[in-house]
Structure 1
Amino acid sequence: ALLGELGQDVSWLALRDGAVISESRASEPLAVGSAFKIGVLAALADEIEAGRRDWAEVVRLEEHHRSLPSGRMQDYPVGAPLTLHSAALAMIAESDNTATDLLIDLLGHDAVAERLGIASEDLLTTRAFFALKADEARRADWRAASPADKPAIAASAAETLPDLEAVTGPHAQGVEWYLPLDRLCALGAPLASLPLMQVNPGPVAAQPGLWQSIAYKGGSETGVLNFTAWLTDTEGRQHCAALTVNDPGAIAETTAAAAFGAFLRSLHGQS
């Protein structure tokens, strides 16, 4: 009941050792904001596991990677050397948008989109997302375009990075990252043991002592909120708990975090 009252469209999912404990609309794609970065990390982990990349590999920041906050790398100088681990850590723990775009550029839209289960032409960098959100006419063109034309429109929009004040308005329908919670949980499960996934526990930090390990990634913009956590309880059982809220207006994030915390406590208390 608490979760369902958080916004116009709400989905949630709780898994324990792969079994569904509770769910509502968990297979329905909703806007999840920066939680899509789990798919970028999954594509990077694929490359590393295959031996084509290494966490210690150094890449260079380029001007077209520069995005808007969150994060800090947008203020780094062009040419700054970064290891893949540093970029991935910033992308997950600080939700660094510039680090995200650098990694998408390195890995390729096709590889990341495939991991996310979306069409390559629908995958936006964060810079393209901000540019389209700030430009109503170009956004309409992108939404109406054929799949073949979408990448060029997004790339053209991303040539100019808008001011932060131009992108703080409500969620622009169709211009986002739309993912179902069951896919987010599946993407993150094999990544949850990575230390970089456990640096920022998000709202789960308010529950010390309940979990042996906490991996977390969420996302938000005006009208969009996601919390996704991969948890190991004190008995060693593996959980994924996730919540997405979409609404035409602003979402009360503090209220949503409290409801998600209650959800986690009830999950922990179930035998």
Structure 2
Amino acid sequence: MMTEGAGSVPSAALAALAADASPRGEAARWAVELLTGPDAGPDADPGGRFVPALAARIAPDFAALLARWRAKGPFLVASYQPVAHKAWVVLAGAGEGRHTLSLTLDSKGLIQQFTLQPEVVTPEIPTWDALEEALRTPGVETSALAARLTPEGYDVLHASAAERPMPAGSTNKLYVMRALAHAIDSGALTWDDEITVRSALRSLPTGDMQELPDGTRVSVRETAHKMIVLSDNTAADLVLDRLGRAAVEDAVADSGHHDPVLLRPFATSREIFELGWGDPELRKRWATAGETGRRALLDGIDRPLTVRLSDLGETVHQFGVDWFMNAYDVLGVLRGLAADSERDATGTVEDIMTAYPGLVVDRDRWTRAYFKAGSAPGVMMFCWLLRDHAGDTYVLVLRQQADEQKYVGDGLFLRGLGARVIESGLLGR
């Protein structure tokens, strides 16, 4: 690995990378060695390190990819940020500036995301006006909400277009989680019950449950964990199928959604993929249909998925193909999950909701951190529920929507803004 050079920050970054004994840390060290070592090294074959789909896509040209990446160096490790199953390594290059190496691991420790791109720099956010200035991007609609929860409701600290319904991507899984918590609470299910994988419910990544053979039995607990922590689409669809669509629609209403009709019928991820990127006539019919017509459309695509990841690209939220909510709806479902956690004597809801906080959390300040992200072509949103040592609870919601994916990017900027707000102390003022 490249030596740290002068200064304490690179030394600290290398020390943090070296000290990470998890599979995530081992994978990050392997990747960094490929980019900073004297050559690509003997272990440059990604076949045994990547999930099969990623290996098949990049393995044939992996040597050329590494050559292009290494040409941007030589690199110095400037920072290392590990969070749950993800890691971000900032590499300072002498040639083309600083780059971020991003890795995401699946539940088996295999790499399912592996990218290098110019570092996304987010500004300091000392005021709410600074947040709005940072969010302002041509071609992008944005929304933000920060609030402190109270026994009576909430106090708004900052809001911009917070009442606007916008596509939320995988944030819909919070409603599925609420419906599951209600089923557990009522005794209709237990965390140890099992769910059976079958082809009719297999979706596309994110996640890895779509790789499981038909007939595989997985506990409700593990499936729910993957649904929230890995944002596993197949896991969410399996849970929704076990609960029934009506149970999730009830959870939407129970969580205080401002217009529950927007989420009726509550589509699975598989259905959204099929509607959005399958036969173009489907999304046109979905856009003009009412609730009854939409339910009939879903009945008509009750089959194994025909869409592939390579089919995704153009935005489809303009046709209503997504899950729509406003920022106050997000606050409501997060608050509901916190209440569900209080009723869950097993502690499983809390374990799942806090397993992946989305960023490095200052535990000297925050005792609880829930997080969920949602994305689709042209859609990006992040939300957090945070409790401090004084017992005060805050919700932060940041959202972007555009007619073209290029204006939204991969979420690193919006995630960075969330981190800046949380670090700034604005939530406590």
For the criterion TM > 0.5, the same-fold answer is: yes
Question: Is 1:132 aligned to 2:286, yes or no?
Answer: no
Q: Which residue of 2 aligns with 1:246?
A: 401
SS at match of 1:130: helix
Picking from 194, 211, 232, the partner of 1:96 is: 232
Q: Is 1:68 the counterpart of 2:204 in the alignment? A: yes
Pairing partner for 2:353 from 197, 202, 223: 197
- Checking the alignment, whether the CA contact within 8 Å between 2:145 and 2:396 is kept in structure 1 is yes
Specify the alignment match of 1:143 in structure 2. Answer: 287
Query: Secondary structure at the residue paired with 2:321?
Result: coil
Amino acid at match of 1:163: R
Instruction: Describe the superposition over 1:106-136 as per-residue Cα deviations: whole angstroms up to 9, x where unpaired.
Output: 1121221232243364321100100111121
Distance 1:87 1:2, change over 3 A: farther
Amino acid at match of 1:81: R
Residue 269 and residue 163 in structure 1: after superposition, are their counterparts in 2 closer, same or farther (change >3 A)? closer
Residue number among 260, 265, 276 corresponding to 1:122 in the alignment:
265
* d(CA) in 1 for partners of 2:423, 2:402: 25
Equivalent AA in structure 2 for residue 182 of structure 1: Y
1:217-236 aligned within 5 A: 217-236=372-391
Identity %: 28
Name 2:313's counterpart in structure 1. 168
Q: 1:52 aligned to 176, 185, 188, which one?
A: 188
Query: Which of 208-217 and 90-99 deviates more?
Result: 208-217
1:11 to 143, 159, 167: 143
Separation in 2, partners of 1:39, 1:84: 16
**How far does residue 208 in structure 1 lie from its aligned partner after superposition?**
6.1
CA distance in 1, matches of 2:334, 2:427: 23
Deviations 1:35-57 (A, max 9, x none): 01000000111111112211111
**Offset of 1:26 from its aligned partner?**
1.9
Report deviation, 1:177.
Answer: 0.4
Is contact 1:3–1:10 with CA below 8 Å preserved after alignment?
Answer: no
After TM superposition, give the deviation of residue 11 of structure 1 in Å.
Answer: 1.4
The residue identity in structure 2 corresponding to 1:199 is A
Is 1:185 the equivalent of 2:331?
yes
> Counterpart of 1:37 in structure 2: which amino acid?
K
- Please provide the CA RMSD for this pair: 2.0
Look up the equivalent residue of 1:236 and give its one-letter code. Answer: G
Counterpart contact for 2:383–2:395, Cα < 8 Å = yes
Query: What amino acid is aligned across from residue 43 of structure 1 in structure 2?
Result: A
Separation in structure 1 between the aligned mates of residue 425 and residue 251 of structure 2, nearest angstrom: 28
1:2 aligns with 2:138: no
Query: What is the distance in 2 between the residues matched to 1:229 and 1:238?
Result: 10
Task: After TM superposition, give the deviation of residue 267 of structure 1 in Å.
Answer: 4.3
Is 1:22 the counterpart of 2:158? The answer is yes
CA contact (8 A) 2:201 2:304 kept: no
Kindly indicate whether the alpha-carbon contact (under 8 Å) linking 1:15 and 1:240 is maintained by their aligned counterparts in 2.
yes
CA–CA separation in structure 2 for the residues paired with 1:11 and 1:146:
27
Deviation string, structure 1 residues 154-186 (Cα, Å, up to 9, x no partner): 232352421111123324311000011212122
The answer as to whether partners of 2:398 and 2:414 remain within 8 angstroms in 1 is: no
Residues of 2 paired with 1:3 and 1:84: CA distance?
41
> Cα distance 1:269–1:131, how it changes in 2: closer, same or farther (>3 A)?
closer
Offset of residue 246 of structure 1: 0.7
**Matched residue of 1:46: which SS?**
helix
- In 1, the alpha carbon distance for the partners of 2:163 and 2:231 equals 24
The answer for the alignment partner of 1:263 in structure 2 is 421
C-alpha distance in structure 2 between counterparts of 1:210 and 1:249, whole Å: 38
Looking at structure 2, the residues matched to 113 and 34 of structure 1 have their Cα atoms a distance apart, in angstroms, of 16
One-letter amino acid of the counterpart of residue 237, structure 2: D
Q: Distance in 1 between matches of 2:425 and 2:316?
A: 31
From the superposition, tell whether residues 264 and 62 of structure 1 become closer, same or farther in structure 2 (CA, over 3 Å): same
Greater C-alpha radius of gyration: 2
**Could you tell me whether the CA contact under 8 Å between 2:366 and 2:387 is conserved in 1?**
yes
Aligned match of 2:299: 155
1:30: Cα distance to partner? 0.6
Q: Please, which moves more after superposition, 126-135 or 187-196?
A: 187-196
| Higher normalized contact order (CA 8 Å, seq sep 6+, divided by chain length) | 1
| Contact 1:3–1:260 (Cα < 8 Å) also in 2 | no
Deviation, 1:215, is 1.1
Structure 2 distance, partners of 1:61, 1:142, is 28
Unaligned runs of 5+ in 1: none
For the Cα contact (< 8 Å) 1:138–1:157, is it kept in 2?
no
